[in-house]
Amino acid sequence: MKLNAFARASLLIAGCAVALPALAADKPVLEVWTMSLSPKFDGYFKDLVGKYNAQNPNVEIKWTDYPWDVIQSKFTAAVGAGKPPALVNLNVPWAYDYKQSGLLQPLDGVINKGQYVDGAIKDVTFDGKVYAFPHYNGANVIAYNAELFKKAGLNPAKPPKSLDEQLAYAKTIKAKTGVAGFAPALGPTKIEGFLIQNGLPLLKDGKPVFNSPAHVAMLKKLGDAYKSGALLKDNLFAQDNFQVSIAAYNSGRMAMLVTTPASLTRVRDEAPKLYQSTQVAPAPIGPTGIAAGGWMFNFGVARNVNKALLPEIGKFGNYLTNADNQLAFAKLAGTLPTARKAAQDPYFQKVANDAGAAEKAVGVAAASLDKTRTIYLAGVKDPDVLSARLAAAVEKAVTGRQDPKAALDEAAAFWSGKL
pLDDT at residue 160 above 90?
yes
Closest among 293, 285, 187 to 244, alpha carbons compared: 187
Neighbours of 359 (CB within 10 A): 16
Residue whose C-alpha is closest to residue 148's, from 55, 231, 252: 252
77 membership: H or E segment, kind and range: helix 71-80
Q: How far is CA 92 from the centre of its chain?
A: 8
d(CA 59, CA 45): 17
At residue 286 the predicted structure's pLDDT band, cuts being 50, 70 and 90, is confident
Averaged pLDDT for residues 214-242: 97
Tell me: pLDDT of 204 over 70.
yes
Measured between alpha carbons, how far is residue 390 from residues 186, 246, 396 in Å? 10, 25, 10
> Looking at this protein, which amino acid is placed at residue 1?
M
Give the integer Cα–Cα distance in Å for 169 and 151: 12
* Domain architecture of the chain: domains with CATH: 23-138+295-349 (3.40.190.10), 141-289+362-418 (3.40.190.10)
Write down the H helix ranges in 114-162: 118-123, 146-151
Cα of first residue to Cα of last residue in the chain, in angstroms, is 49
Residue range 207-232: mean pLDDT, rounded: 98
Strand duo 278-282 + 29-35: pairing:
unpaired
CB 87 within 8 A of CB 317: yes
Give the model's pLDDT for residue 25.
52
Q: Is the pLDDT of residue 99 over 60?
A: yes
Residues 390 and 191: beta-carbon distance below 8 Å? yes
Separation CA 117–CA 390 (nearest Å): 33
CA pair distance 95, 135, nearest whole angstrom: 13
Report the pLDDT value the prediction gives residue 3, as an integer from 0 to 100. 39
Find out whether 362 and 140 touch, Cβ atoms under 8 Å.
no
pLDDT, one tens digit per residue, over 320-362 is 999 999 999 999 998 999 999 999 999 998 888 889 999 999 9
pLDDT at 142: 97
32-49 tens-digit pLDDT: 999 999 999 999 999 999
Any residues with CB less than 8 A from the CB of 84 and at least 6 apart, and which? 75, 78, 302, 304, 305
56-79 pLDDT tens trace: 999 999 999 999 999 999 999 999
As a whole number, mean pLDDT of residues 150-172 equals 98
Average the pLDDT over 142-154 and give the result: 98
Element (H, E) at 392: helix 383-398
How far is it, in rounded angstroms, from Cα 232 to Cα 246? 11
Q: How far apart are CA 281 and CA 256, in angstroms?
A: 11
- Residue 1's CB: how many other CB atoms inside 10 A? 11
Q: What is the number of other CB atoms lying within 10 angstroms of the CB of residue 239?
A: 15
For range 248-276, the mean pLDDT: 96
* The pLDDT of residue 11 is above 80: no
Flag whether pLDDT at 192 surpasses 50. yes
Between the CA of residue 7 and those of 56, 59, 182, what are the distances in Å?
Answer: 21, 19, 63
Is there a contact between 76 and 104 (Cβ–Cβ < 8 Å)?
A: no
72 within 8 A of 91, measured Cβ to Cβ: no
Contacts (Cβ under 8 Å, ≥6 apart) of 201: 195, 209, 210
pLDDT at 354: 86
Decide which of 14 and 130 is more confident: 130
Percent of the chain with pLDDT over 90: 89
Q: Which helix (H) or strand (E) element contains residue 63?
A: strand 60-66
